[in-house]
Structure 1
Amino acid sequence: MKPLFHGIIAYPVTPFAEHDGSVDLAQLTKLIDKLINDGVHAIAPLGSTGESAYLSDEEWDAVTSASISAVDKRVPIIVGISDLTTKNAIRRAKYAEQAGADAVMVLPVSYWKLSEEEIIRHYSSIGAALSIPIMLYNNPATSGIDLSPELIVRISKAVSNVTMVKESTGDIQRMHRLNQLSNGSLPFYNGSNTLALAALSAGATGWCTATPNLNAALPLALYNAISTGDLAAARQHFFKQLPLLQFIMKGGLPTTIKAGLRLQGFDAGIPRAPLLPLGEKGNDELQTILNGI
């Protein structure tokens, strides 16, 4: 049986209204409809792409509820949870569960450097408050915390509802090691866009990506080719989209994805300050890339 979350897990941006910068829930609903109609296997709001760190608690709650309502059980939905305090991470996780999320994705973030015991306690406290699965998210580039494969497997053994891992360091050896340490029992998901071919080939259960906002067909084609064992086709689909993957990673996901959506006629507003919108040169380069795929 396939896990609840598999394949292409799409990360929508959080649209902001042009006139006052408020969260635009109507546009968010349209974007989620677009992603599901394009064929993605799951929706994951409020990750790094969704500018979760820049939202107030009230805005975060509104985006969570609107996203779950928009998905309307058509595909699974996993809500991103990250906060400096365990208390508010629990609050958000419980809110997501009560609103109808199928799972939460927990990224620990730090100001003071956290010890392994503090990280384990953070996950244990969140897990004890929930009855839905948790995807452990390792992304040191945004969180300031790097979870080793050994620590990740230790957490999964200590917290029963930590049942999957999103690995975003861009190091394929981490995924090999997770598989080795867990004897293949802990599903891992690729969170590094330019590693998609290698990660899926290595047995990643899915690819967590913002790319479908701009082009869902190529990520889906890559996943399907890997699933059917057609490595030649997988390479072809991967290298066709690689310039786009490289561009959005280099330029920052909220900035580049929102610019790309606008180029395609969908207004999701601009990123929230201090992030800046993509400049003219970047827009021209992105348009060329989009025209080429």
Structure 2
Amino acid sequence: MNLSGIIGYPITPFSDLIKGVDLEKLGIVIDILLDAKVDAIAALGSAGEAAYLTKFEWEQVAKYTVKYVDGKVPVVIGVAELTTEQAIERAKYAHAIGADMIMVSPFSYYKLNEAELFQHYESISNATPLPIMIYNNPATCGVDMSPKFMLTMVDGIKNACMIKESTGDIQRMHKIHKLSKGKVPFFNGCNHMALEALTAGASGWCTTAPCLIGDQPKQLFDAVKQGDKDKAQALFYQQYEFLEFIVTSGLAAAVKSGLSIQGKLDGEPRKPLLPLTKSAQKTLRNMLTELDCIKA
């Protein structure tokens, strides 16, 4: 499938009343992303606290997201499991509920070698016809895959067709572009590198930022694609401190605090994650005010 642009990541709202996922609030978050003109929605990523959900909750979020989006944009489901068997189960479920793609990151306890990683992705590919985005995020998953190896998987695994690179090393994106002769789509997963990545030829930007700052990421993407360097640079530097802040503060905690500050949604991340401190909330409020995303 052809996928490009801004891939928006919803947070997962929880309800103290039902001690679980608040699907009604999830719908509000999805509407916020759609209003922000995202080109796809990727449920169950880091911002969605996927690692902290039960199997039932994970399936709830996946199914509700696909149903609620209702074909308005493609839906990508994140799959990050310790075992191949669990990953296959999640991938099959994503296919059964009508997801358009899966984004697979090899979550690891033991350090996996390339043969183990290849068989992991190949086994998932053999279990479902869904397109696979290979996701490299060593800071979270404990596995670091080289551009050359990921391209080997794209070449050798039938459904592996694109890459999300989140190491923060722009040289890796250059290598993906160069080694693939520009034929393999790659996506930026590092918020504060958005301008560099898009300029380097990234097909899109995976981000939860639109939950708080609307279509400003989309404006940046469009400016780069239109070749308006000055506008793109101005838009990026306008967002830069905010993008860096939500990453260093923790995506789930930062976005949930931001939505509360904006009066759109209340709720905290799931423990052991903690909400932002009062000081950090003040900093975020000031940033959102400067970005014209909250009334002064």
Instruction: Please indicate the TM-score interval, normalised by the length of the shorter structure.
Output: over 0.9
Deviations 1:44-95 (CA, angstroms, capped at 9, x unpaired) = 0100110000001110000000000111000011100010010010000110
Alignment match of 2:136 (pick from 129, 135, 138)? 138
User: Which residue is 2:203 aligned to?
Assistant: 205
Q: Is the 8 A contact 1:105 1:137 kept in 2?
A: yes
- Return the alpha-carbon distance in structure 2 between the equivalents of residues 210 and 19 of structure 1: 26
**Cα pair 2:242 2:287 within 8 Å, conserved:** yes
Aligned to 2:78: 80
Percent identity, aligned pairs only, is 47
Which residue is 1:4 aligned to? 2
Structure 1 residues 206-243: Cα deviation after superposition (integer angstroms, max 9, x where no partner): 00001000012210110110111000000000000111
Aligned residues: 291
Q: Please, which of 150, 153, 161 is the counterpart of residue 151 of structure 2?
A: 153
1:247 is aligned to 2:240: no
Q: Please name the residue that 1:40 is paired with.
A: 38
Counterpart secondary structure, 2:178: helix
1:129 and 1:144, CA in 2 relative to 1: closer, same or farther beyond 3 A? same
User: Of 176, 186, 189, which residue of structure 2 is paired with 1:188?
Assistant: 186
- Counterpart CA distance in 2 for 1:173 and 1:246 is 20
Asked if the contact 1:21/1:272 (under 8 Å) is kept, the reply is no
Q: What TM-score do the two structures reach when normalised by structure 1?
A: 0.97
**Which of 14-23 and 190-199 deviates more?**
14-23
Task: Write the distance in 2 (CA, Å) between the matches of 1:106 and 1:86.
Answer: 11
Please tell me whether residue 169 in structure 1 is matched to residue 167 in structure 2: yes
1:177 and 1:268, CA in 2 relative to 1: closer, same or farther beyond 3 A?
farther
Aligned to 2:294: none
Of 62, 65, 77, the residue aligned with 1:64 is 62
Partner of 1:224: 222
Q: Which of 230, 254, 257 pairs up with 1:256? A: 254
Instruction: Choose the corresponding residue for 2:89, options 83, 88, 91.
Output: 91
1:130 shift after superposition: 1.1
Tell me by how many angstroms 1:20 deviates.
5.0
In the other structure, the counterpart of 1:109 is 107
1:160-190 Cα offsets, whole Å, 9 max, x none, are: 1110000000111000001111111110000
- Offset at 1:18? 3.4
Listed as ranges, the gaps of 5+ residues in structure 1 are none
SS of residue matched to 1:291: helix
| Contact 1:110/1:144, CA 8 A, preserved across alignment | yes
On the 8 A contact 2:80/2:105 being kept in 1, the answer is yes
1:280 to 274, 278, 289: 278
Give the Cα–Cα distance (whole angstroms) in 1 for the partners of residues 41 and 215 of structure 2: 16
Query: Amino acid of the residue matched to residue 255 of structure 2?
Result: I
Length-normalised TM-score, structure 2? 0.96
